[in-house]
Amino acid sequence: MKKKISIIFLVPAAVILLLVVFYPLVYAFWLSLSSYYLGRSPTQFVGLANFVRTIRSEGLLHALRVTVYIAAPAVALELLIGLGIALLLDKINVGRKVFFTFLFLPFTITPVVAGLILRWMFMSRWGMVNYFLSILHVEGPFWFAFPMSALLAVLLGNIWQYTPFVILVLFAGLQTIPVEMIEAARMDGARGFAMLRYIIAPSLKPHIFFVLIMRTMDVFRLFDEVFAMTGGGPGTSTETLAIYNYRLAFKMSRIGEGAAVSVWTLIFLSGIIAVYLYFSYRN
Amino acid sequence: MAKLQVLRSYIVYCVILILAFISFFPILHIILVSVKEPVDAFAMPPRWIFVPIFRYHFHIWMKTDFPRYFINSMIISLVTVGISVPVASLASYYLARYESRRTRIVLFALLAIRAFPWMLFIIPFFIITRYLGLYDTLAVMILIMVGFNQPLAIWLMRGFIREVPFELEESAIIDGCSQFGVFWRIILPTVLPGLAATSIFVFLLAYNNFLFALILTGTQAKTLPVAVAEYGAEQIQYWSISAAGACGIIAPIVLIMLFLQRYFVKGLVAGAIK
């Protein structure tokens, strides 16, 4: 028996989503087509001028580069490390929950606080990272003084904070692989890498795909941690798309151009997601 | 052979122990900094043995506006949970039980919202709230948090409700239960763990939010993350105060994780698989 459920159940959520998500979205697209400067009126329709101006500016392309420099290694490394830890957790029986709690905490704490903590960790003279490096007889750099090391610090911080998410999803995925399948493969002599390559990886495909998409989307929104950690500096060398967008709209008061940059960000991200989808459906 | 097995499991434990330590150390460090004098906090090499002082914790809770921001954050997060979880439960009941092309499109559209940059929403909100005179109010923050938690809350709740066997509902309908009666008396009590998981998620998302509060609040509705980000990180004498503030803000999260982790993990797992 399939009964029809009254559509009234949907109404409260629909009203809220229309009001809070849909309406601002339409307004934002309209703003991206108009010249709107805070404190200066009236608003004028300018067509695609904001889009042309922002894509030609060095700021947007630079921010895109920074975001990709962080996103590509972050997503790849988080996936690899996360898979490794999920496999390790799968092997142990005693104390799994306790380890889980500690491994999971960085993901749940307030991102902006995580950024502050990381800032202290990477501080050149008093930071713990350089202290541990000095124990290994390595002289740590002045992390936030140079573009490359600042980017590396942001990347390492991102890995610290978000690998737990990957661990959780992949660990849940590992639990869905039937034990018989593993046993059968072992009978056939599959060990170590062969097991990973031919049994585990194919079974985890939907989970890996989910993690890839989620993490990529999130890095394109990356703001809080970097804002608290480096503020986009030194100079603009760690200025992600979100930080650039914030600066353009709220520090430089160019609202129309800011909205255009948001739309550009959406376009870039859609392109990347389209590539993911292409590869996932081709197989 | 057996010896090799034991050795191998030793190595596995050691590796996990080291990883868990790396994961937890930065948080431990901030807790230690908050109970040391600044001079000791950043002494090199670090001092591991010291007499803890709670002066800085006392300072932020008693002598600054920290409690006010804490209350703001709590009001926003709790009211958000109170509104968005019931609303999402209703919607997800429909979406879980009535599958069609149209509901699939709705679900996909909800997921796609995650791909949209926050600025795309914040810029119009900034203008609208200023125009309506609602800038810097708790009500606007709550409304926004409710809206942006809907997709996740609906997806999670839908996953839980789908697992409720249909026969349960059928018998209630035969007994003459109304649609809402079925939802209220049959569905909700069955998915209580799911409600808990969703509530924790929504709470954390609202509580941890920084960007919306940074731009849409001033002095009145300012939340903890914004306040903590403003604490001076430049001068060394303020570090202990900042650290105490950071501890104050993550304390509720750590408590939730310690006591309710089960539900939280279950929710994420459910959300990830479906």
- For residue B14, is pLDDT > 70? yes
Scored b (16 or more CB within 10 A) or e, A200-216 reads: beebbeebbebbbbbbb
pLDDT of residue B153: 92
Q: List the helix and strand counts (H, then E) for chain A.
A: 14, 2
Q: Confidence class of residue A154 from pLDDT cuts 50, 70 and 90? A: very high
The mean pLDDT of B150-159, rounded to a whole number, is 90
Report the mean per-residue pLDDT for chain A: 88
Judged by average pLDDT, the poorest of A69-73, A126-130, B136-140 is: A126-130
- For residue A192, is pLDDT > 90? no
d(CA A71, CA A77): 10
pLDDT of residue B193: 85
Residue A4's SS3 state is: coil
Q: What secondary structure letter does DSSP report for B114?
A: G
pLDDT of residue A1: 42
The mean pLDDT of A152-176, rounded to a whole number, is 92
d(CA B143, CA B87): 12
Burial of B210 from C-beta contacts in 10 A (0-12 / 13-18 / 19+): buried
pLDDT of residue A220: 93
The mean pLDDT of B34-39, rounded to a whole number, is 82
pLDDT of residue B180: 85
Cα–Cα distance list, B93 to A5, A165, B105, B137, B162 (Å)? 9, 27, 16, 32, 8
Q: Do B120 and A242 touch (CB under 8 A)?
A: no
Judged by average pLDDT, the poorest of A186-195, B33-42, B263-272 is: B263-272
pLDDT of residue A153: 95
Distance from CA of B68 to the nearest CA of A (A): 18
Highest mean pLDDT among A153-162, B38-47, B51-60, B153-162: A153-162
- For residue B271, is pLDDT > 60? no
pLDDT of residue A190: 73
pLDDT of residue A42: 64
The mean pLDDT of A201-217, rounded to a whole number, is 89
Nearest by CB to B113, which of A21, A88, A241? A21
Judged by average pLDDT, the poorest of A26-30, A254-258, B265-269 is: B265-269
Task: Identify whether the C-beta of residue A209 lies closer than 8 Å to the C-beta of residue A191.
Answer: no
Interface test with A, best of B123, B148, B161 (most A CBs within 10 A): B123
Judged by average pLDDT, the poorest of A148-157, A243-252, B41-50, B114-123 is: B41-50
The mean pLDDT of B178-202, rounded to a whole number, is 87
- For residue B23, is pLDDT > 90? yes
Q: Confidence class of residue B272 from pLDDT cuts 50, 70 and 90? A: low
- For residue B108, is pLDDT > 90? no
The mean pLDDT of B205-209, rounded to a whole number, is 94
Residue A172 with chain B: CB contacts under 8 Å: 268-269, 272-273
Task: Identify whether the C-beta of residue B91 lies closer than 8 Å to the C-beta of residue A13.
Answer: yes
Alpha-carbon torsion B12, B15, B18, B20, what sign?
negative
- For residue B233, is pLDDT > 80? no
Closest residue, chain B, to A211 (C-alpha): B272
What is chain B's length? 274
The mean pLDDT of A127-153, rounded to a whole number, is 89
d(CA B156, CA B171): 25
Distance from CA of A43 to the nearest CA of B (A): 12
- Output the pTM of the full model: 0.90
Q: Do B124 and A131 touch (CB under 8 A)?
A: no
d(CA A118, CA A111): 10
